[in-house]
C-alpha cells in the first residue's frame, strides 16, 4: 500500500484538515511532515469541531495511528495543551496512538520571542508570521544549533542544552532587538517537566513508517501550509520556513519517492492568504466580503490559528499550475464550492500580464509578481444550493463547467469537490 500525500495548493487554509479526515477513513497511519503550530486544521464531524494545530487530523478516527515526522517543529507546551484538550473530549491520545520523531525540532520561548522581535523590527515590511517561533526554530535546524525532540528522553543533556540555547538567544534578544532577556533556568525547569510527559511519545518514525508500508498498510501524509508558502517554491520571502510541498513530505517523514501513490492538491474554489506578500487576484471591498464572509459562520475566512481576517480573491490557475508542477499532483480537490453558489458570473485568472507580456507561469523574480495583473476569463455562475450534493455528476451544469475548466487549464483531474465543512459534504 502506498504513501498518499495531501498538499495545500495555494497559501494554506485550503481545507487540508477536512480532506485528511475524509481520506483517513481508509488509512492506517496519518503523518504530519512539516511546519508546526502555525497550522490550524479544522475538522467538523456532526456537532463537534476540532481545530488541530500540531496533532495530525487522523486522530479524530479511532484506530488510526498518528505520526509527527522529523520535518516538523514542535512547541512542547502546545503539544501538551492539544493532547489534553483532545483527551478531555474522549479522544485517545496515548503514546500507543501517537508518535513523535526523535529528529523533529523543538520550539522554545526564545524562538517565539525572536519571531516577535524580528517581525516588529521589520515594521511595515513584516512577513505577518503567526508568531509561533517557526522561522527561528527552522533557522536553528539549518544552522545545526537546534534542539531535537530526542533530547526529551535525556533529562541531563536536555537541561544543559536548553540553558545554553536560551543564553545564546538572549544575546540576540538583548543586543540586537533591545528586548528583555529570558530566564534560562526557569525555561530549562519547564522543559524538564514537559520531557517527562512527552518522552513516551518518541519513536524512530522513519523505521515505523517503512515497516508499516512494507506490511501493506496505507499512510496518509498531511500537509500543512501550502505550496505558495514553501521556502523554495513559494512567494519568497513571504513564505514559511519549511517545505510544505511533496518533496518536503518525503524528507519530512524519512521516506523515498518509490512509495508514493497519489498526491492530492487541495485548493479552494477561490483564493485566500493570511499575512503579507503578493496576491495577484486579491479583491477588496464588497467583493472581498462576499468571498470572506463577515465572520458569522464558522467557515468564514478568519484564521484558525490567529483569528486574522484572510485576504481573498478569485481562483488563480497560474498558482494551481505551479502547484501541479512542483508537487507532481495526481489529483486536485476543490473546496468551498458552496461559497460560489449564487454569483451571476465567476472570473478565473488564467494567466498574468506583466509590462504588456502574457505570462503563463510565475515570473522568475519574486519582486515582479507584485506588478503582475490578472488576465481573467469569466465563467457563468450557478444559483443552486450545492450543499447536499454528494456526486460530482449531480452538481449544476455551470458548477461542473467550472470544475472542468480548472481541470483543463491545469491538466489535472479534479476528483473531489467539497460543498460544506461537514465530513460528508463532499462530492466525488
Ligand atoms: P486547512 O488549514 O487547510 O486545514 O484549512 P482551515 O481549516 O484552516 O480552513 C478551512 C476552513 O474552511 C475551515 O473553517 C473549514 O471548516 C472550512 N471548510 C472546508 N471545506 C469547506 C467547504 O467545502 N465549504 C465550507 N463552507 N467550508 C469549508
Ligand atoms: P495551515 O496548515 C495559512 C503563513 C503566515 C505568514 C507566513 C509565515 O492552516 O494551512 P510562519 O508563522 O509560518 O513563519 O508565517 O506563513 N502561514 C499560514 N497561512 N495557513 C497556514 O497553515 C499557515 N502557516 C503559516 O500567515 O504569512
Ligand atoms: Mg488552516
For residue 159, count other CB atoms closer than 10 A to its CB: 18
What is the H or E stretch that residue 109 is in?
Answer: helix 109-122
Helix ranges (H only) for 305-386 are: 317-327, 337-340, 366-369
Instruction: Give pLDDT tens digits for 309-361.
Output: 999 999 999 999 999 999 999 999 999 999 999 999 999 999 999 999 999 99
C-alpha cell at 340: 460560489
Show Cβ contacts of residue 88 under 8 Å, excluding neighbours closer than 6 positions: none
Main-chain phi, psi angles of 11, to 5 degrees: -110, 30
The span from the CA of 270 to the CA of 277, in Å, is 17
C-alpha cell at 419: 460543498
Q: Is 335 in the pocket of ligand 2 (CB under 6 A)?
A: no
The span from the CA of 126 to the CA of 108, in Å, is 21
Res. 278 pLDDT band, cuts 50 70 90: very high
For residue 257, count other CB atoms closer than 10 A to its CB: 11
Catalytic annotation on 230?
A: no
Task: Say if CB 280 and CB 369 are below 8 A apart.
Answer: yes
In this structure, which ligand is nearest to the CA of 272? Answer: 2
Residue whose entry in the numeric block shows the C-alpha cell 473531489? 416
Q: Is 135 in the pocket of ligand 2 (CB under 6 A)?
A: yes
Position 1 pLDDT exceeds 80:
no
Show Cβ contacts of residue 156 under 8 Å, excluding neighbours closer than 6 positions: none
pLDDT the model gives residue 409: 98
Position 138 pLDDT exceeds 80:
yes
The span from the CA of 240 to the CA of 367, in Å, is 17
CATH 1.10.300.10 applies to domain 105-200: yes
Instruction: Give pLDDT tens digits for 196-213.
Output: 999 999 999 999 999 999
In this structure, which ligand is nearest to the CA of 340? Answer: 1
Kindly write down the DSSP assignment for every residue of 2-51, as one continuous string.
-EEEEEESSSS-SSHHHHHHHHGGG-SEEEE-SB-TT--EEEEETTEEEE
The span from the CA of 239 to the CA of 276, in Å, is 9
Cα 271 to averaged position of ligand 1 atoms, centre (Å): 12
* E runs forming strands in 225-330: 260-268, 271-273, 311-313
Residue whose entry in the numeric block shows the C-alpha cell 501524509? 221
Choosing from 12, 41, 42 the residue with most ligand 1 atoms within 8 A of its CB, the one to mutate for a pocket test is: 42
In the chain, the percentage of residues whose pLDDT exceeds 90 is: 96
Task: Say if CB 428 and CB 390 are below 8 A apart.
Answer: yes
Point out the catalytic residue in the list 13, 140, 316, 338.
13
Mean pLDDT of 28-56: 96
Task: Say if CB 119 and CB 140 are below 8 A apart.
Answer: no
Maximum distance among all Cα pairs of the chain, rounded to whole angstroms: 65
Point out the catalytic residue in the list 41, 105, 165, 233.
41
Instruction: Give pLDDT tens digits for 140-182.
Output: 999 999 999 999 999 999 999 999 999 999 999 999 999 999 9
Res. 364 pLDDT band, cuts 50 70 90: confident
Cα 304 to averaged position of ligand 3 atoms, centre (Å): 6
Taking the CA atoms of residue 374, residue 375, residue 377 and residue 378 in that order, the dihedral angle to the nearest 10 degrees is: 50
Which has the higher per-residue pLDDT, 281 or 303? Answer: 281
Task: Say if CB 3 and CB 219 are below 8 A apart.
Answer: yes
Please give the DSSP secondary-structure letter assigned to residue 146.
Answer: -
The span from the CA of 171 to the CA of 46, in Å, is 50
In the chain, the percentage of residues whose pLDDT exceeds 70 is: 100
Arithmetic mean of pLDDT over the chain:
97
What is the H or E stretch that residue 98 is in?
Answer: strand 98-101
Cα 13 to averaged position of ligand 3 atoms, centre (Å): 4
* Displacement of CA 60 from its chain's centroid (Å): 18
List the strands of the sheet with 98-101, edge to edge.
202-203, 98-101, 65-68, 29-32, 219-222, 3-8, 260-268, 331-335, 413-418, 426-427
Helix ranges (H only) for 184-270 are: 184-198, 205-214, 246-251
Position 304 pLDDT exceeds 80:
no
Q: Please state the pTM of the whole predicted model.
A: 0.97
Residue whose entry in the numeric block shows the C-alpha cell 514542535? 74
Q: Is 40 in the pocket of ligand 1 (CB under 6 A)?
A: yes
Q: Is 128 in the pocket of ligand 2 (CB under 6 A)?
A: yes
The span from the CA of 21 to the CA of 406, in Å, is 24
Cα 23 to averaged position of ligand 1 atoms, centre (Å): 15
Choosing from 8, 9, 18, 52 the residue with most ligand 1 atoms within 8 A of its CB, the one to mutate for a pocket test is: 18
Residue whose entry in the numeric block shows the C-alpha cell 515505523? 208
Which residue's alpha carbon is at the smallest distance from atom 16 of ligand 2?
240
Instruction: Give pLDDT tens digits for 91-113.
Output: 999 999 999 999 999 999 999 99
Position 248 pLDDT exceeds 70:
yes
Q: Is 274 in the pocket of ligand 2 (CB under 6 A)?
A: yes
For residue 363, count other CB atoms closer than 10 A to its CB: 17
Q: Is 42 in the pocket of ligand 1 (CB under 6 A)?
A: yes
Indicate where the chain has its CATH 1.10.300.10 domain(s): 105-200
Mean pLDDT of 390-394: 98
Fold that domain 3-93+205-427 belongs to in CATH: Adenylosuccinate Synthetase; Chain A, domain 3 (3.90.170)
Indicate where the chain has its CATH 3.90.170.10 domain(s): 3-93+205-427
pLDDT the model gives residue 386: 98
pLDDT the model gives residue 255: 98
Q: Is 225 in the pocket of ligand 1 (CB under 6 A)?
A: no
Nearest to 189 by CA among 253, 116, 109: 109
Amino acid at each position: 500500500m502506498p504513501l498518499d500525500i495531501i498538499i495545500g495548493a495555494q497559501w494554506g487554509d485550503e481545507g487540508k484538515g477536512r480532506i485528511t479526515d475524509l481520506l483517513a477513513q481508509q488509512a492506517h497511519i496519518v503523518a504530519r511532515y512539516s511546519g508546526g503550530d502555525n497550522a490550524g486544521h479544522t475538522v467538523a464531524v456532526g456537532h463537534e469541531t476540532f481545530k488541530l494545530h500540531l496533532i495530525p487530523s487522523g486522530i479524530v478516527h479511532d484506530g488510526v495511528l498518528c505520526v509527527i515526522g522529523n520535518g516538523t517543529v514542535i512547541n512542547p507546551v502546545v503539544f501538551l495543551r492539544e493532547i489534553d484538550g483532545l483527551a478531555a473530549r474522549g479522544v485517545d491520545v496515548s503514546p500507543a496512538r501517537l508518535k513523535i520523531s526523535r529528529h523533529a525540532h523543538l520550539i522554545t520561548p526564545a524562538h517565539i520571542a525572536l519571531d516577535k522581535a524580528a517581525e516588529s523590527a521589520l515594521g511595515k515590511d513584516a512577513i505577518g508570521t503567526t508568531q509561533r517561533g517557526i522561522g527561528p526554530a527552522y533557522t536553528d535546524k539549518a544552522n545545526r544549533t537546534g534542539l531535537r525532540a530526542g533530547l526529551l528522553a535525556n533529562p541531563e543533556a536536555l537541561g544543559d542544552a536548553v540553558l545554553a540555547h536560551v543564553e545564546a538567544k538572549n544575546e540576540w534578544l538583548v543586543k540586537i532587538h533591545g528586548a528583555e532577556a529570558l530566564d534560562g533556568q526557569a525555561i530549562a525547569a519547564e522543559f524538564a517537566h514537559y520531557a517527562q510527559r512527552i518522552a513516551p511519545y518518541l519513536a524512530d518514525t522513519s523505521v515505523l513508517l517503512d515497516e508499516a508500508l512494507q506490511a501493506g498498510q496505507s499512510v496518509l501524509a498531511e500537509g500543512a501550509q501550502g505550496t505558495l508558502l514553501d521556502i523554495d517554491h513559494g512567494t519568497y520571502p513571504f513564505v514559511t520556513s519549511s517545505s510544505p510541498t511533496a518533496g518536503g513530505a518525503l524528507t519530512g517523514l524519512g521516506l523515498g519517492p518509490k512509495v508514493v501513490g497519489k498526491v492530492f492538491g487541495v485548493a479552494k474554489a477561490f483564493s485566500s492568504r493570511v499575512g503579507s506578500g503578493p496576491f495577484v487576484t486579491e479583491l477588496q471591498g464588497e467583493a472581498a466580503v462576499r468571498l470572506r464572509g463577515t465572520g458569522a459562520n464558522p467557515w468564514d475566512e478568519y484564521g484558525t490559528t490567529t483569528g486574522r481576517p484572510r485576504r481573498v480573491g478569485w481562483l488563480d490557475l497560474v498558482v494551481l499550475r505551479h502547484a501541479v508542477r512542483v508537487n507532481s499532483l495526481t489529483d486536485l480537490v476543490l473546496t468551498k464550492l458552496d461559497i460560489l453558489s449564487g454569483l451571476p458570473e465567476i472570473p478565473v485568472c488564467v494567466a498574468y500580464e506583466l509590462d504588456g507580456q502574457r505570462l503563463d507561469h510565475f515570473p522568475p523574480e519574486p519582486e515582479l509578481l507584485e506588478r503582475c495583473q490578472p488576465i481573467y476569463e469569466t465563467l457563468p455562475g450557478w444559483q443552486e444550493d450545492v450543499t447536499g450534493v454528494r456526486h460530482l455528476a449531480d452538481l449544476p451544469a455551470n458548477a461542473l463547467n467550472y470544475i472542468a475548466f480548472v481541470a483543463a487549464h491545469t491538466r489535472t483531474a479534479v476528483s473531489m469537490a467539497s460543498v460544506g465543512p461537514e465530513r460528508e459534504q463532499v462530492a466525488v
